[in-house]
Structure 1
Amino acid sequence: MRMKYFFFSWLAVFIGSWVVYVQYSTYTELCRGQDCKNTICDKYRKGVIDGSACSSLCDKETLYLGKCLSTRSNNQVYMGSWGDLEAVIKCQMEETLRFDLGADTEPRKEAVLFDKPTKGTSVEKFKEMVFSHLKAKVGDQANLLDLVGLIISVADGNKDGHISLPEAKSTWALLQLNEFLLMIILQDKEHTPKLLGFCGDLYVMEKVQYTSLYGISIPWIMELFVPSGARRSMDQWFTPSWPRKAKISIGLLEFVEDIFHGTFGNFLMCDTSANNFGYNAKHDLKMVDMRKIVPEVSFKDLIRDRHCETDEDCVYGMDCRTTCDQTKKKCTTEVIQPNLAKACQSLKDYLLRGAPPEIREELEKQLYSCIALKGTADQMEMEHSLILNNLKTLLWKKISHTKDS
């Protein structure tokens, strides 16, 4: 009996130690915040880069990287604080040399080494660089100069009315990132987190209080033993009350409107997972992660040369799918589902669970009509707008008289 107890005790210690080791190794691989800070601050102190967050991060140390939220080693994400403000800090650790539809990092067209613009570049030349880059990324639009002006105003980190070379290098690096560009484009929209500051290609954004559309956090050890089906059921049970879910859902529909043929073009939502959407204490939707929201123009430009054997080769993120032209063995450029259909797919179970009986049938009908949308939104603009407005109206009429609205 003693030998039996000794054996099982030893086995428990061995398994426990192995699990702790694996978790520690995973954490140290994913969470490289100190490496990120060291790299950024080294370049800042050498005068290579500058930005509104550099002094706080490297000199005053009032910008603090706290809890690690990274899911990829080359995309560092931390909950932190900047003085009295709670914030989220994001940092790019490695170069992404090309747009890779099979990768989980966001598409970046070129290596970002803070080597552009070069010494001697004038502000006017820098504006021309930004203009050309944006033209390739979001398309040739009449108001592109307005977007250049917005970016130049953000680039002036210390607000002294001048763009220094280090500030320009930081801005150029950040312009390779879709999320940074989208935060500038949508800076006045209520569902986009605010950009608080930057240093090099590290940027600081507003913290979102609730960081998933639904779900519950459980200890990682329990995650190992909970079946995926049971986990999905648990997630759906742990949601706000239905009127609050309706308000959050209206926010998501409004965000779809914001990026559909907005001021500076159309953007594609390539990952509509629940953990990319959050909300605040007032149950207003706030985007948590916009790295997989890509400009339609650059997406089409890059996917058309993608070699394919089947449709599965023509996927970016989780949700941006095109078809494979079997005669040419190339991906076509038109996404199968518009943003609205993907958003409705994410909201279906979320909204139908606990829906008031008097609107459940109509709500289900409208959601399935929305999910059935196919082809580009350009080709069905009227139907797209009608379905979106009908859904918003149905939800709003039901909650407009409640305190949750």
Structure 2
Amino acid sequence: MAKGLIPRAWVKKSFYFQARISFVRVKYLFLTWLAVLVGSWVLYVQYSVYSELCRGHECKNAICDKYRRGIIDGSACSSLCDKETLYMGRCLSTLPNNQVYTGSWGDRDGIVRCNLGEVVHYELGEEPEPRRETPAFDKPTRGTSVEKFREMVLNHLKSKLGEQANLGGFVSQVLSVADGNRDGQVSLPEARSTWALLQMDEVLLGLLLQDRGHTPRLLGYCGDLYVTERVPHGPLYGLPLPWPLVSWVPGGVQRSIDQWFTPSWPRKAKISMGLLELVEDLFHGTYGSFLLCDVAAPHFGYTDRHELRLTRARTVVPEERFRRAMRALRCETDADCVYGADCRAACDAAEKRCGGEALQPNLAKACGALKDYLLRGAPSALREELERQLYACMALRGNAGQMDMEHSLILNNLKALLWRQISHTKDS
């Protein structure tokens, strides 16, 4: 009997073992299939997003077609379309009609930007609508003299910046940029390219701030495609997360992570000095007053020498435009009177209309952005005074009496405090 039981037990164990192996195989086969399915879906989504956002070849083809037909010209046209020494590299676009790429032009690294017509979405089964075309580059018209073009540029600047005493000098700077081949004359195709560029606030404001070193320098252009210097470090602080993780990481955790990915404190102080100098130049500057309407860290970067650069000039708004926009808004509360992310006005409860004065000056917003950035790692002997000055700065209000004097006093004190700490270091 015992001899007969041994084979039966062995058969049971063998069956159980084979069933176990089969189950494991099915389990891993299912998991492998699931991983392939999910991976394929992620790749499809990524490809769909990329193919919609990144259309640099379309941009280049459209620009070069107009260049070869003699409609537009500029300092970058020959390199882009004939010599092919201007390359578009990694896609940085976040909007399908605003193409942004890293680029190289000879031995210079840059950022290439180009506008395209909007992508029109449609539902399955519907006829696709034609894509909205890019500007036709029809201004100025044939026969326009240089003096007439100068007048066009001046009137355009007045409409954007208001009546300013020094606009004539800036018009001459624009005409110098327009002479792309440096032959001393502005041709009609060059004028059309320049006019198209001036319609983009980011280019216009970038040129306004370029002389003081606050924005990346314009390297060249062709039509409304233009190349600027590449800012090697950005954002101002923090670690950019991949887009799938952004919605999963809580804001508090993100801010804590951001503070770990910053330069040493003396270098942070030098970068902060650059932001304070930008604020100083925007406050009653050469071409009027401007407002910083988004002081988020991604809109700023810095060079290898730790000099601040404003990488998104469209966050700067002429004060005159802000007033016009606010006075045109109807409101119930102050929350209805917002321009951009950080520019706010008060709501007049009686008239149900927004006022024209900004509630918070640029300096207060800049100090709010710098508070955690500067206080973390600050020398112990400096920390208490630095914190006091930053909170006094953040308390500034745009409609307060004596604001100009108080603004200048706080700004100078803060700059002097930082300069005393870094003037003797190699980073200064």
Q: TM over 0.5, yes or no?
A: yes
**Cα 1:377/1:187, change in 2 over 3 Å:** farther
Alpha-carbon distance in 2 for matches of 1:224, 1:304: 35
Q: Give structure 1 stretches of 5+ with no counterpart.
A: 96-110
Superposition pairs for residues 260-299 of structure 1, below 5 Å? Answer: 260-299=283-322
Counterpart-to-counterpart distance in 2, 1:182 and 1:361 = 37
Residues 6-405 of structure 1 aligned to structure 2 (within 5 Å): 6-94=29-117, 112-219=135-242, 223=246, 225-375=248-398, 380-405=403-428
Aligned 8 A contact 2:219 2:227 in 1:
yes
SS in 1 for 2:287: coil
Quote how far apart the aligned CAs of 1:177 are.
1.8
Gaps of 5+ in 2: 1-22, 119-133
Of all paired residues, the percent bearing the same amino acid is 65
| Residues 1:368 and 1:14: Cα distance change in structure 2 (over 3 Å) | same
Tell me the CA shift for residue 151 of structure 1.
0.9
RMSD: 2.0
Greater shift, 286-295 or 369-378, is seen at 369-378
Aligned partner of residue 239 in structure 2, secondary structure: coil
Residue range with higher mean Cα deviation, 30-39 or 220-229 = 220-229
Q: Name which of structure 1's ranges 313-322 and 118-127 shifts more when overlaid on structure 2.
A: 313-322
Deviates more, 1:172-181 or 1:1-10: 1-10
Q: Give the 3-state SS of the residue equivalent to 1:81 in structure 2.
A: strand
Distance 1:375 1:340 in 2: 10
Aligned length: 390
Which has the higher relative contact order, 1 or 2, with Cα contacts under 8 A spaced 6 or more apart?
A: 1
1-structure distance, mates of 2:48, 2:377:
42
Note the alpha carbon deviations across 1:144-202, whole angstroms, 9 max, x for none.
21111111111111111111111111111111222222232233212321111111111
- The answer on 1:4 being equivalent to 2:27 is yes
Shift of 1:378: 9.5
Say which SS state the counterpart of residue 205 (structure 1) adopts: strand
Deviations 1:291-345 (Å, cap 9, x if unpaired)? 2212111232233213444433332321122233344443322222111111111
Q: Distance in 2 between matches of 1:173 and 1:331?
A: 32
Q: Deviations along 1:16-72, whole A, 9 cap, x unmatched? A: 222222222222222222221111111111111111111111111111111111222
Contact 2:337 2:346 in 1 (8 A): yes
Amino acid at match of 2:255: R
TM-score by length of 2: 0.86
Partners of 1:316 and 1:74 lie apart in 2 by: 23
Compared CA separation, residues 377 and 265, structure 1 to 2 (3 A): farther
Measure how far apart 1:139 and its partner are. 1.2
Moved more, 172-181 or 313-322: 313-322
Contact 2:205 2:314 in 1 (8 A): no
Q: Tell which structure's C-alpha radius of gyration is larger.
A: 2
Q: Judging changes above 3 Å, is the alpha-carbon distance between structure 1 residues 5 and 91 closer, same or farther for their aligned structure 2 residues?
A: same
Contact 1:377 1:384 (C-alpha < 8 Å) held by counterparts: no
- Post-superposition offset of 1:217: 4.2
Evaluate the alpha carbon distance shift between residue 71 and residue 323 of structure 1 in structure 2; reply closer, same or farther with a 3 A threshold.
Answer: farther
* TM-score, with length taken from structure 1: 0.91
Q: Which amino acid aligns with 1:266?
A: S
AA matched with 1:55: S
Q: Distance in 1 between matches of 2:155 and 2:229?
A: 29
- Displacement of 1:392 in angstroms is 0.6
